[in-house]
């Protein structure tokens, strides 16, 4: 179905893999279009409770496709950036949780793809960076915004202005990734976390993502009210009744609703 990505479902988990290993999984307009289609498929499938995003071969995503971008004028460049924003924002805003399993180079658009996910687990061999200023542009898939929110304004400026590439341990130290593991443990660790999340009440996980993401840039009073509304949604669900009944009855819950 797809030429540049792979998407498969195993149990309650979706696996979304960028599959251009000869190009180090660089993002071009075709990849972005296929990702947009796959995300529609993911959103429509209630059986999928969590998604793992990774790259085929030795790279996660080594950046956007420079060979393609070098030929774009301002109008065409804008269109590509808008397509990238659409993909990253869909991942960020979809109620389902996304886990980036960063197996290698996550540079430029690859770093931005990882940042759009909810949680990032990195191989000890992974490398991160935003090299765009060395190419005459800036991060254009929301990297200037998400990086500063994850690591702080000063560190984001340092990494973007210098185009410095950092290793996984440094990425962990500054808060760009949540966990670093050995390469052979990467997918196992991501799957364990994804299965743990998938075992929780889907509607609660979804509302937690909405509350965290949307409340982050609000003042505390507004964000607190958002949390109240999100919790109210949970209290109106079958999952809330089932989860609390299962706890009191000392049994595993059987979730009904997203």
pLDDT tens for each residue of 64-111: 999 999 999 999 999 999 999 999 999 999 999 999 999 999 999 999
C-beta neighbour count of 183 within 10 angstroms:
14
Question: In angstroms, rounded to a whole number, what is the distance separating the alpha carbons of residues 110 and 202?
Answer: 28
**Contact predicate 99/116, CB 8 Å:** no
List all residues 6 or more positions away from 82 whose beta carbon is below 8 Å from its beta carbon: none
For residues 168 and 122, is the Cβ–Cβ distance under 8 A? Answer: yes
Flag the least confident range among 199-203, 207-211, 253-257: 253-257
Q: Which of 41, 132, 227, 249 is catalytic?
A: 132
Whether domain 202-248 has CATH 3.30.450.20: the reply is: no
Whether pLDDT at 127 is above 50 = yes
Per-residue pLDDT of 12-29, as tens digits, reads 999 999 999 999 999 999
pLDDT at 1: 83
> Which listed residue (34, 56, 112, 191) is catalytic?
112
pLDDT(49) > 80: yes
Q: At what angle do helices 220-235 and 202-215 cross, to 10 degrees?
A: 170
User: What confidence category does residue 258 fall into, taking pLDDT thresholds of 50, 70 and 90?
Assistant: very low
Average pLDDT, stretch 165-174?
A: 98
Q: pLDDT class for 47, splitting at 50, 70, 90?
A: very high
Q: What is the DSSP string of the chain?
A: --SSEEEEEETTEEEEEE--GGGTT-B-HHHHHHHHHHHHHHHH-TT--EEEEEESTTEEE--B-HHHHTT--HHHHHHHHHHHHHHHHHHHHSSS-EEEEE-SEEETHHHHHHHHSSEEEEETT-EEE--GGGGTS---SSHHHHHHHHH-HHHHHHHHHH---EEHHHHHHTTS-SEEE-GGGHHHHHHHHHHHHHTS-HHHHHHHHHHHHHHTTS-HHHHHHHHHHHHHHHHTSHHHHHHHHHHHTTS-------
Residue 96 main-chain phi, psi, to 5 deg: -75, 145
* Cβ-based neighbours of 78, under 8 Å, separated by 6 or more: none
Shared fold status for 5-198 and 202-248: no
5-198 has CATH 3.90.226.10 classification: yes
What pLDDT shows up at residue 256?
80
Of 256 and 206, more confident: 206
Mean pLDDT for the chain? Answer: 96
Q: How far is 68 from 148, CA to CA, in rounded Å?
A: 27
Sign of torsion, CA 37 52 4 78?
Answer: positive
pLDDT band for position 257 (cuts 50, 70, 90): low
* 214-224 pLDDT tens trace: 999 999 999 99
178 is known as an active-site residue: no
Is position 3 annotated as part of the catalytic site? no
Kindly list the domain boundaries of the chain, sorted by start residue: 5-198, 202-248
């Amino acid at each position: 179905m797809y030429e540049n990505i792979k998407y498969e479902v195993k149990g309650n988990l979706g696996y979304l893999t960028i599959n251009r290993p000869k190009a180090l999984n660089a993002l071009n307009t075709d990849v972005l279009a296929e990702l947009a289609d796959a995300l529609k498929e993911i959103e429509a499938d209630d059986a999928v409770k969590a998604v793992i995003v990774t790259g085929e071969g030795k790279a996660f995503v080594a950046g956007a496709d420079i060979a393609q971008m070098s030929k774009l004028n301002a109008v065409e460049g804008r269109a590509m950036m808008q397509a990238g924003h659409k993909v990253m924002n869909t991942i960020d805003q979809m109620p389902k949780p996304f886990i980036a399993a960063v197996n290698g180079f996550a540079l430029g658009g690859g770093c931005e793809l990882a940042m759009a996910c909810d949680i990032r687990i990195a191989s000890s061999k992974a490398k991160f960076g935003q090299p765009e200023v060395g190419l005459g542009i800036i991060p254009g898939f929301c990297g200037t915004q998400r990086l500063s929110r994850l690591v702080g304004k000063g560190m984001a400026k340092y990494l973007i202005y210098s185009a410095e590439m950092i290793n996984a341990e440094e990425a962990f130290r500054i808060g760009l990734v949540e966990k670093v593991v050995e390469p052979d443990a990467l997918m196992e660790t991501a799957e364990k976390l994804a299965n743990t999340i998938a075992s929780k009440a889907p509607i609660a996980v979804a509302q937690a993502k909405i509350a965290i993401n949307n409340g982050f840039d609000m003042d505390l009073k507004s964000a607190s009210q958002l949390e109240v509304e999100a919790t109210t949604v949970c209290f109106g669900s079958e999952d809330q009744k089932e989860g609390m009944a299962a706890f009191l009855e000392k049994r595993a819950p059987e979730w009904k609703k997203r």
